[in-house]
Amino acid sequence: MRAFVVALGLILLLGSVAGGFTVEEEVLFPPAGQPGRELSILSTTDTDVMRPVIEAFQAANPGIAISYTVANSQEVYAAINDEGKAFDLVISSAMDLQMKLANDGFAAPVRSALSEALPGWARWQDRLFAFAQENVVLIVSRKALGAHQLPQTRRDLIELLRDDPGLFRGRIGTYDPARSGAGYLFATQDVRQSDSFWRLAEVLGGLSPRLYTSSNEMISDLKHGRLVLAYNVLGSYAGPRLADNKDDVVVELEDYTLTLLRTGLVPRTARHPELGGAFLDFLLSPNGRQLIREKAGLPPIDGAALFASPHLRPMRLDPGLLVFLDAFKRKAFLDEWESALNRK
């Protein structure tokens, strides 16, 4: 409640506080004990998801206040890359944009036993670190689907859409890669995995899909009957929100299911880099991992889980993520996307 009251006042000041980048939410968590320093976090992760983790960190560090700012992934990138904002920790689901920040020298080094213990695919040098792995899934309204079978592969999905276009026209959701950093990442990683993505995009283009900038919006529209299905949704958000309705299901496609790594970095512009590093260490600690799984609903880094499920394809933290961030490649990709969706 105290965080909500403070947040209400801050929302009125967002224009002056946020500067040039667009903020979705800003919440101040006052310290549990006597006021001390303030840790500022910029994140794409919803406040309600991170709230139990933040409060547990404050319980262990009672003098620290936390300012938690939420923005979409492209705005998060712009805040650091273009505006040099002085946040102490940056958390994002857009691995490629995070990698670019780290690769271009915007991330400060963080060295600890916990960060160094991460597997190689979940960290990049001592600049970028993953703390959660989240499957990118298909969500379907079984009730709206009627007698049709649930698709298990992208080929199944393409055939399903072609067989009954009337059912799906205007009732399919997916990310808009032109407006969403995470959506652009998922789409470009789809292309790297299989040629079937462009066939799927062409089929979607004939069915007037709805384009979104967040998974939660797609989940809400599915729950309210506005969508029959949505493609490339974060499973960590979809699973808990759809668990109370047997008609709405989460499908991990068997040909492959992308696995996103949610990452954190400490910017070189941080006022309190030691606090950013401390919060990152907390996320990687046994207590933090348990909170991430049980309270935040985000699966922590777990190589064994990936090994046990061969259809899961983790997106590694390496410079390969930067390929589609090249300006010419990005324009070519988005032009082809627009063409596939018959929007040009």
Q: What pLDDT shows up at residue 19?
A: 55
Q: What pLDDT shows up at residue 10?
A: 40
Write down all domains in the chain, each with its CATH number in brackets.
2-131+262-310 (3.40.190.10), 134-258+323-340 (3.40.190.10)
The string over 216-251, giving b where at least 16 C-beta atoms fall within 10 Å of a residue's C-beta and e elsewhere, is bebbebbbeeebbbbbbbbbbbbbebbeeeeebbbb
Q: What pLDDT shows up at residue 5?
A: 39
Asked if 130 and 325 touch (Cβ cutoff 8 Å), the reply is no
Q: What pLDDT shows up at residue 196?
A: 87
CA 12 to chain centre: 26
Q: What pLDDT shows up at residue 2?
A: 44
Q: What is the pTM of this model?
A: 0.84
Asked if 219 and 241 touch (Cβ cutoff 8 Å), the reply is yes
Q: What pLDDT shows up at residue 15?
A: 39
Q: What is the dihedral angle through the alpha carbons of 316, 215, 222, 341, rounded to the nearest 10 degrees? A: -80
Residue ranges, the chain, pLDDT below 50:
1-18
pLDDT digits (tens, 9 = 90+) for 244-260: 888 999 999 999 999 99
Task: Please give the C-alpha separations between residue 54 and each of 32, 276, 284, 298, in angstroms, as whole numbers.
Answer: 11, 12, 13, 14
Tokens standing for 280?
């990152």
Q: What pLDDT shows up at residue 344?
A: 56
